[in-house]
Amino acid sequence: MVHQHYEQWLLNDERLTLEQERDLRIHLRSCPDCAALARANLALRAAPVVAPSQGFALRFQERLAAQRKIQRRRSVIGIFLLGLAGMGALTLVLLPFLPYLTLEPEQLFTLWVSNLVYIAIVIRTMSAVGLTLLNVAGAFIPDYAWIVALALFFGLSFGLKASARRVGQFAKSAA
């Protein structure tokens, strides 16, 4: 039998029959590489288990307590920083409204009414401008362009709906 065969037995740590063991022993006498492998296997198997010094569990408990203390301190600092950040954000949001606190109730009411009127005027103006633009565009854009645009719009919505249905079916089959 060739050297590699014996080497594989040793490297694979295989269980050998009595006959195989005898063959291996004969080979080991003449092969320094395999003998070194066999010696290494034995030396590793013979190495004892090393135990820690007394009081390991007690030292672990101390370490766990110290770790908990650090975590508690970290979470307190985290909550403090989060609160601080929240206060800062709230101040930033409320900052534009702070001047209103100094106003009289009548002044405040007048201000609110004028703001509402302003918003209503803006909406009305924008809708008027939009309608005018649509009228102007209607005069310039030919009819067939509207038909093409509408067809594209309906085509796209149909495509989207079909793909959504297919995705739903795929998800159902995967589940």
CB atoms within 10 A of CB 75: 10
Please say whether the beta carbons of 9 and 16 come within 8 A: yes
Give yes or no for residue 5 binding other proteins (CB under 8 A): no
Give yes or no for residue 18 binding other proteins (CB under 8 A): no
Q: Which of 22, 63, 69, 165 binds other proteins (CB under 8 A)?
A: 63
Q: Which of 42, 87, 120, 150 binds other proteins (CB under 8 A)?
A: 42
Q: Which of 40, 70, 147, 167 binds other proteins (CB under 8 A)?
A: 40
Give yes or no for residue 50 binding other proteins (CB under 8 A): yes
Task: Give the relative orientation of helices 18-30 and 3-11 as an angle to the nearest 10 degrees.
Answer: 110
Q: Which of 2, 19, 56, 139 binds other proteins (CB under 8 A)?
A: 56
H/E stretch holding 49 reads: none
d(CA 166, CA 138): 38
d(CA 112, CA 120): 12
Give yes or no for residue 74 binding other proteins (CB under 8 A): no
**Smallest separation, CB 118 to other proteins (Å):** 58
Give yes or no for residue 84 binding other proteins (CB under 8 A): no
